[in-house]
Structures are given as structure tokens and as C-alpha cells.
Chains A and B, each alone.
Chain A
Amino acid sequence: MEKNLYRSDFPQFQDKTFVYLDSAASALKPQSVIDSVNHYYHDLSVNIHRGIYDEAYEATRLYEETREMVASFINASPEEIVFTRGATSALNLVALSYGMNLTSEDEIITSELEHHSSVLPWQAVANKTKAKLVYIPLDSEGRITVEAFKSVLTKKTKIVAITYVSNVMGYISPLDEIIPLAHQFGARVVVDAAQAAPHLKIDVKRLDVDFLAFSGHKMLGPTGVGVLFGKQELLNSMEPIELGGEMNEEVGKFQSVWKDAPYKFEAGTMPIASIIGLAKAIEYLKNVNLEEIENHTKRIRNYAYQQLKKIDGIVIYNPTSDSSIIAFNIKNVHPHDAASYFAEKKVALRAGHHCAQLIIKWLQIEACLRASFYLYNTFEDADQLVQTAKAAVKFFRSVGFEG
């Protein structure tokens, strides 16, 4: 079996028996990211922007350097990069600010493939503004197709809130076609790229996307930091949803003036350490190269899939997945029962509805297991998954679960 070149960068694998197949929930963190977070706390530890002493200058420099790195990572300008708490906060910011201008005449298009953080903010906007929420009918595999998107796109469409890569099925949405179509009808497109950023080269200019959000912790970075990309004229036109320190230019007793974007959206003290750490995560991904990561990850995913599908008693929901995810169940065994078995064998995977209840309902199941792979996973990890799945089927049948 080939040697994994990245594994030794991740201190979490010091426990050699740890088979980590839950990267779609959160990726592990390489030593360089951990060191960078520690460097901030250990050597700097001060606030940004405000201070005029060396440590504050250095912290500010690292913070703003991260903004530039993020911008170049997705081909945007630094002014178009807002730091948030995560993809969730970023998507909520768009809905609570930009979305509040909608009226009962408008329509919002979304899909049942969405993570809750992509659909719930727009459901709330629809309920508040009386705009109509419209779902793209999914095809027989559960995919968003261009044809189905066209069938719901109208002159009333103002927002398209859509996932880049589904966190349950691993399908890639046809954004290259959807975004220009939406623009022809005058709609703005908000993309949840939380599952895309760790795997795909994102180019916001080529996509011509209006808003795009992702989280640091799914792409080897620290928790507590996310990114909202917004086209500059859109960010400038939007009201901040959090008011406080640092985001204002001039404060009066009755009226105040905000800074320009992105600063007007970064009120209070931001998660400085996490943001600084994110720079190292991006550096790591750039050094390895996203294409390399995607090739590696898909090969392992497909290797695991080919064997899993042969196991009598395993049902797989996304055979044609475009990404690194396998959504599956053991027939007649609730995924929480199954997950305890995998956990006992030190195979970490996820059981539940994966914060995407709409697609779980669409699949007409209660919940499912999800295995997701990333750059540090090996073919041995896939073997471990398959062996454990086989043994699990046998175990559950032996204690009385029906076949």
C-alpha cells in the first residue's frame, strides 16, 4: 500500500488505531496550524487594529495577511472577504442583512440538499418578509439539475441559496450554469461552499457568484472562523447586523457612520488566533495542491465504495457521489446502533441527519451513517471501514437484528 505523505503532519494520528472518517464534519488540524494559533496566544495575545505597540502591529499584520491569503485562495479582492464565526454566521449575515430587503412579491430558490445553515436563514427571511420559498425539484438520484433549476426560476426570483457540494450526498451543484441563468433573471446567488472549500479550487470571479461562504475548521483550520465572500458593491450596499467596537467610523449620540466593508461586518474582537491559524491551513492546502487532494480522496472513496456495495446488508444512498462522502446504512439497523459498533472499533464516522433533515426526509429514512475522506486518509482506513462494516452486519444479525 502506498505511503500517505501528509499523515505525519497531523498529531492526532499519534494514536495509531484512530480511523478518522468524519472530515466532512471537521477536518483534523496539522501541526503548522496548531503552532500558529499557539504563537498568537503565546507570543502576541493582544488585540488588533487598536494598539500602536509592536505586538498589536504584528497581530494586525498577521490578521490582514490572512484576509489577503483567503482572497487569493478564491480569486477575490481582500475587501470582499469578511471574517465570521463560520459558514453558518456568514450565510446568516447575508440573509439577515441583504435578505431583509425582500418583499412578498419576491421568490427565494433553494433545495432539499441544503445544510440547515443554508436553508433556515432563508426560511426565516421568507416567513418575515412574506417572500415565497421555492424548492428545486431534485432528480431521481437527489441531484440538482440545470433543467430542474430552470423550472422554478422566474422574474420574481431574487435569491438563489444553494450548496456547492452536498454534505450528505457529495453531489456538486452545476453552478457554472445556474449562476449565469440566475443573473439573467436578476437574482443574486448565495453559495454554501463549506464542503467545497476543502476539496475544490474555488474561483469566485469565474463563477461570478454574488456571495459565497465557508468554514475554516473543515479545511484544516481552527474552529470559530469562517469566511463570507461578497461582491464589493453588494457588501457596500448592506447594513451590518452586529454593531459595536471597531466597525464604526464616527459615533454620534443619535447617528453614526460605519466603516467600509469588510470592516463594518467585523464588530467587536474577532477570533484573532483562529483567523491567523487559517492562514496556515490555506498555506498547507496550497502546498499540497487541491487537485492532488481531490484525486487522492476520491480514489480512496471509490475503493471503499466498490467493496462496501458488495456487502450483503449494506445500503448506499449516493453511489454516484462526486465527492469524498459515502452515505449508507446497515439494513434494518438504526445508524446509532451501527455507529456505536464502529466507535468501538475506533472507526470515527457520523450518524444522524447531518444537519440536513430535508434530504434525509427526501431519502425517506430516519438517519444514516456518513463516512467522509480527506487527504490524510489511507487505503488501510478504507479497508478498516469495510472490514468493520462486514463485522458489524454479522454482529447485529447475531444479536437479533433482522436481515
Chain B
Amino acid sequence: MEKLDNLYREIIMEHYKNPRNKGLIDDPSYVTVHIKNPSCGDDITVQSKFVNGIVKDCRHDGHGCSICCSSASVMTETVIDKTTEEANKIADNYLLMVTNKSFDETIDLEEAAVYSGVRQFPARVKCASIAWQAFVETLKKGA
């Protein structure tokens, strides 16, 4: 069961049960992106607020499996207060990591690094990616 234990790490479960920055805000200064994975029903909305090149706030809401929902929470904590450039780098690197491609290990993924276990579950890569992809879209739209 080593692989599964490696997937359902404590940090992941902690964020799943107590998600941070959850719930959307009705505020036009936020950039909103909604992504759905029709094959499994994961459904995530991410809202980012960018001020002077800084990710001032990031929020999420939606539903899906533990990997999907927890990674949305971890993502918001990771990117808030980073410059948009730093946040973008982390997101790109994270997405390379979970898809098992070569990535820059010198970039600190912080808590998001615990999702490396997903690489052993190719069917779950999408679950771990969807919130980060939505964040990258908010960057493209609004930063």
C-alpha cells in the first residue's frame, strides 16, 4: 500500500477536510475561471486578484475528489502574495511534476510538492492539475 499512502498524505487530507480560501467572492476586481472535467465530474472555479504584479488573493470553490479539492486549497495558499511571475513559474513547474515530465527542482513548490505521489497514478493526474490550470488561466486573463 506504499503507493496509496504516498498519495493520501497528511497534508493533502488536512487541506481536503479544512480547505483554505474556499468560497467565491462577488467582486469584479477578481478574475474568475471555471474548469470542468466532464469525464469524472470534477468542477472547480478559481478567482484571482492581481494588484501591481502581485497575487493579492486567490479563492476556489467546486467539487470533486480529495486530490482535486485539496490541491485547489494548497494552490491558493502557495500562490497568494507571490509575484505573478513567481506564481506562474511555480504553477508551470507543478504541472510538469504531476505529469511526470522533467521539472526544475530548484523551484520551491512548498506544500504543493506533496502531490509528487500523483505521478504513480496516471489516471489521477487530471484531478491534481485542474485547479492549477484554472489559476494559470486567471493569470493569462488578468495579470
Contacts and interface: CB of A to CB of B under 8 A. Distances in A.
A366 B42 CA distance: 9
Contact of A366 (B13, B14, B39, B41): B41
Contacts, number: 55
A271 interface: no
B8 A334 contact: no
Interface in B48-92: 63-68
Contact of B40 (A336, A341, A395, A396): A336
Interface in A324-340: 333-337, 339-340
B98 to A, nearest CB: 14
B76 to A, nearest CB: 20
Contacts of A344: 1, 3-4
A336 B65 contact: yes
Contacts of A352: 39-41
B127 interface: yes
B8 A366 contact: no
Contacts of A367: 40-41
Nearest to B43: A366
B66 A334 contact: yes
A401 interface: yes
B4 A395 contact: yes
A340 B3 CA distance: 10
A230 B44 CA distance: 43
Q: Does more than half of chain B's interface fall in helix, strand or loop, or is it mixed?
A: helix
B121 interface: yes
B63 A366 contact: yes
Interface residues of B, number: 25
A367 B37 CA distance: 12
A231 interface: no
Interface string B13-24: 110110000000
Range of interface residues on chain A?
Answer: 20 to 34
A295 B73 CA distance: 49
B124 to A, nearest CB: 6
Nearest to A391: B1
A353 B1 contact: no
Q: Does more than half of chain A's interface fall in helix, strand or loop, or is it mixed?
A: helix
Contacts of B39: 352
Interface string A392-403: 000110011110
B127 A336 contact: yes
Given A344-B3, A367-B41, A399 B8 contact: yes
Q: Quick one: which of A334, A336, A401 has the most chain B CB within 10 A?
A: A336
B4 A401 contact: no
B66 A401 contact: yes
A308 interface: no
A395 B64 contact: no
Interface string A176-217: 000000000000000000000000000000000000000000
B40 A340 contact: no
B7 interface: yes
Contacts of A336: 40, 42, 64-65, 67-68, 124, 127
Given A344-B4, A399-B13, A337 B40 contact: no
Interface string A361-403: 0000011000000000000000000000000000110011110
A399 B4 CA distance: 10
Contacts of A400: 8, 10, 13-14, 16-17
5 contacts: A336-B68, A337-B67, A367-B40, A396-B8, A400-B13
Interface of A: 333-337, 339-341, 343-344, 351-353, 360, 366-367, 395-396, 399-402
Given A336-B40, A360-B41, 6 more contacts: A336-B64, A336-B124, A336-B127, A395-B1, A395-B4, A399-B8
Interface of B: 1, 3-5, 7-8, 10, 13-14, 16-17, 39-42, 63-68, 121, 123-124, 127
Top 8 A-B pairs, shortest CB-CB distance: A334-B65, A400-B13, A336-B65, A399-B8, A337-B65, A367-B41, A337-B66, A366-B41
